[in-house]
Structure 1
Amino acid sequence: MAEQKKEISITVELDENNVPEKIDWNATDKEGEGIANCKAMLLSMWDPKKQDTLRLDLWTKEMTKEEMKIFYHQTLITMAETFENATEEHGMAEDMRDFISYFADEMEILKQ
C-alpha cells in the first residue's frame, strides 16, 4: 500500500521591522484551488523528545482587535472539541466550554 502524504505551506511577508504584512497558505487537500490569504494563524506542534509545545503565533497589521477576539473564540471552541475527541475527558471539555461562553460574553462577541 502506498504511503499517503499531505503538504501544508505557509508564506509570511514581513515589513522592515519583521511585523507580518501578509500571510498566505496552501495545502494539498485544501478546498478550492490556489493560495489562500489569512490575517492570523496559530500553529502548535508537540515535540515528544522535549515534552514541549512549539508555537508560532502570527497576525498581520490589518487584523483588528474585534477580528482577533472572534478568532480566539473560534479557536477555543475548536480546542475544546479536539481535547474531548483526543482524551475523552468530557467533563473538562464542558468546563472549557463554560469558560468559552464566559469569554464570549466578556468580549461581547455573540450579539443578542
Structure 2
Amino acid sequence: MKKAEIKLNVGLDDNNVPETIHWSSTDGESAEALPAKAMFLALWDAQYKNSMRIDLWTKDMPYDEMKRFFYETIQTMADSFLRSSGGDPMAEKVIADLRDYCAHFADKMEVLENK
C-alpha cells in the first residue's frame, strides 16, 4: 500500500496564537514546506461517531480572505459530499440547497466582489 505523510508546522506567539502555518506532503511536487494563513482540519472518529476538528488562522489573516476561505470551504464540502453520495437523489437536493446558501453567503459577505 502506498503511503503519504502530511506535516503541519504552526508557529505560536507567547499567548499560543498562531503566527505562521506551514505544511508539506511526502506525496507533493515540492519537498519544501509551503506557507498558509489558515486551515481547517476535520477527521472522523469512527469509534465515537463524531468529528474532531482543528481550525487555525494566523494573526495576519485578512478578514476579506477569511470570508473567501469560508466560502470556498463550504463549496468544496458540497463537492466532496456529492462525490461520496453515490448519486443519492436526496443528497443532490441537499447539495443544491447548500450551494444556494453559498451564493447567499457570498452575496451578504461580498465575497465575490473583488474577483
| Structure-2-length-normalised TM-score | 0.91
Distance in 1 (CA, whole Å) between partners of 2:31 and 2:77 is 27
Q: Which residue of 2 aligns with 1:54?
A: 52
Corresponding letter in the other structure for 1:107: M
Q: How is 1:15-94 mapped onto 2 (pairs within 5 angstroms)?
A: 15-87=13-85, 88=87, 89-94=91-96
Post-superposition shift, 1:30? 2.1
Q: Which runs of 5+ in 2 are unaligned?
A: none
What are the superposed Cα offsets for residues 69-97 of structure 1, whole Å, 9 maximum, x if unpaired?
00001101100000111113111111100
Aligned length: 110
Give structure 1 regions of 4+ aligned residues with deviation exceeding 4 angstroms.
none
8 Å contact 2:78–2:95 — kept in the other structure?
A: yes
Taking only the aligned residue pairs, the percentage that are identical comes to 43
What are the superposed Cα offsets for residues 35-83 of structure 1, whole Å, 9 maximum, x if unpaired?
1000000000000000010000000001011010000011011000001
Distance in 2 (CA, whole Å) between partners of 1:13 and 1:110 is 31
Q: Which runs of 5+ in 1 are unaligned?
A: none
RMSD over aligned Cα, in angstroms?
1.2
Post-superposition shift, 1:110? 1.2
Corresponding letter in the other structure for 1:95: D
